[in-house]
Structure 1
Amino acid sequence: MSADQVFHSRSEGIPSEGVKDQYADGKAARTWNKFIGDSNERTQNYKDFLIGLLRKNGCKKILDTACGTGIDSMMLVNEGFKVVSVDASDKMLKHALKARWERRKDSKYDEWIIEEANWETLPRDIEAFLPNTQFDAVICLGNSFAHLLDEYGDQRMQKMCLRNFAKCLKPGGLLFIDHRNYDAIIDSGATPGHSIYYNCKYPVDIKTSVLVVGGKAQLVALDYCINDDANSEKSEFRLCYFPHKLDKFTAMLDEAFDNRAKHEIYADFKPMSAVPVPSFYIHVLEKA
């Protein structure tokens, strides 16, 4: 189901056939880049969690499958990892390419690869510019995977994309993937305005809409309002997501790895028992 069958988008760049690129008009991409800041504004908990597990498992070559403006990728490049960054949105990639150009005098950025790619054809897309390559780790973080909506009602596209992530991994490689706590969002009708990923310096208000069809939540729309009081600016945009419930998403991930992967789930980068109502669930799977 495409979001514009239900909601009238505020973004003229969203294509009529759905929301494959919700940043297509460039407006949300520009605002998002400002909203999340730079790699120095990533929370220490996030940095310690991701980089700690990557180093613990000897990961060196990383595929960022939802690089957006490139902030997470730059954080990894700065830490000495070899990073390949892909995204389906050329408007988001424009910011990543600009960031790489601005750092062209830093030798660490010479090997940072940035390309456009689609999750639905990911192994083939990567083969086109990096033949016979598999990765030590694949990351899809920041609630990115939930951008992919359930057009057919059986999550067939989500399942295919998760299998593609698994195909890109070496044996023993790690997949990092997350989603918001949609169980809590559906129950409460509210979304936390703060993020566990970045220290945003602007006040953020998020209005939440939940579409329920046949007794099941089918889509969540988040209307972001970001206030820059210093410049008397206010930015508004809407993003739509498929509301993954924890149990079903866990089972879908296990199936993508033929039920052979070691699968750990974290709540806001902490053990599940430590956070009663987390904002995010982070899944880490180790390919058999």
Structure 2
Amino acid sequence: MSFAKTQDFGLEPVEVRESDHYQEEYVTTLADKWDELIDWKRRAKAEGDFFIRTLKEHGAKKILDVATGTGFHSVRLLSEGFDVTSIDGSPQMLSKAFENAKRHGFILNTCLADWRFLNRDVHGEFDAIICLGNSFTHLFKENDRRKALAEYYSMLAHDGILVIDQRNYDGMLDDGFTSKHKYYYCGKGVVAEPEHVDEGLARFVYRFEDGSKFHLNMYPLRKKYMKGLLSDVGFQRVTTYSDFKQSNLEKDPDFFVHVAEKEYLEEKSD
């Protein structure tokens, strides 16, 4: 398989608002530099044991990582004894994840899959599904978002959970960009910031120390809207964390993390 090395957004980059375009954005050269952006050691320190603790608290053992990227979370979970299946829609990122896992002593169970047709390509039932790294915002159409969440829901055990994160687009849209890069994009000498933001697009630029530059076009999900989607699909309880804290006191967080529970809740009669 030959992988593209340069990005192409055409003559009007801010008009590129298609769910499928991410496959052209994660070119080989970006996949090769992605770990410089997140810095595995610094990111692990920033996150602490939040995801590991959350999964264990819900009794999850069999995990589906639907946006493995270069494999950071899959490898962390494997090292903690979880049974992990790792998928991604980008063959470039999936190849890099396999290499990274092998370097850490693991053989990654991988699958190239589209979230909207997850049941077609991935089989089995999972205790938890994780969709991390702001990945869900690659979906620009509401039908695509609803279809992907419905696929996640159907593949979870009756008491399973979905852990899904997003950037704080509310702050970006309402007050401007003020990210501190304390938790996710921890690489030194790397810049990750929006070049353009409107209600339908957040176009990010990623600059590296060697002078290379890449872009990603994403849909700016608002927190309330995202929680509404999760409820509409059927998740019974959604708990949202601001930079890993279950509190609204965290001012202008970089990220929100939603933990959506599938287990049915009986309505209490008056």
Q: TM-score, normalised by structure 2?
A: 0.86
Please give the per-residue CA displacement for 1:107-136, whole angstroms capped at 9, x wherever unaligned.
xx25x3111111010111102xxxxx1111
Matched, 1:177 2:164: yes
Q: Is the 8 A contact 1:43 1:197 kept in 2?
A: no
Return the alpha-carbon distance in structure 2 between the equivalents of residues 19 and 162 of structure 1: 19
Return the alpha-carbon distance in structure 2 between the equivalents of residues 5 and 241 of structure 1: 18
- Residue 164 of structure 1 deviates from its aligned partner by 0.6
Match of 1:218 in 2: 200
Task: Give 1:117's match in structure 2, choosing from 109, 113, 117.
Answer: 113
User: Displaced runs of 4+ in structure 1, greater than 6 A?
Assistant: none
Return the alpha-carbon distance in structure 1 between the equivalents of residues 182 and 237 of structure 2: 27
Q: Is the 8 A contact 1:220 1:241 kept in 2?
A: yes
Q: Is the 8 A contact 2:19 2:138 kept in 1?
A: no
Match of 1:80 in 2: 81
Change (3 A) 1:262 1:285: same
RMSD of aligned Cα (Å)? 2.4
Match of 1:273 in 2: 248
Match of 1:236 in 2: 213
- Residue 235 of structure 1 deviates from its aligned partner by 2.4
Aligned residues: 255
Change (3 A) 1:8 1:193: same
Q: Is the 8 A contact 1:189 1:208 kept in 2?
A: no
Q: Is the 8 A contact 1:219 1:243 kept in 2?
A: yes
- Residue 29 of structure 1 deviates from its aligned partner by 1.2
Structure 1 segments unaligned to the other structure (5+ residues): 128-132, 212-216, 228-232
Aligned residue type for 1:79 = E
Match of 2:184 in 1: 197
Q: Is the 8 A contact 2:180 2:254 kept in 1?
A: no
Match of 2:239 in 1: 264
Change (3 A) 1:235 1:193: farther
- Residue 18 of structure 1 deviates from its aligned partner by 4.9
Please give the per-residue CA displacement for 1:69-118, whole angstroms capped at 9, x wherever unaligned.
11111011111111100000000011112123334xx4xx25x3111111
Q: TM-score, normalised by structure 1?
A: 0.81
Change (3 A) 1:85 1:32: same
Matched, 1:163 2:155: no
Match of 1:283 in 2: 258
Match of 1:130 in 2: none
Return the alpha-carbon distance in structure 2 between the equivalents of residues 17 and 73 of structure 1: 24
Return the alpha-carbon distance in structure 1 between the equivalents of residues 160 and 46 of structure 2: 22
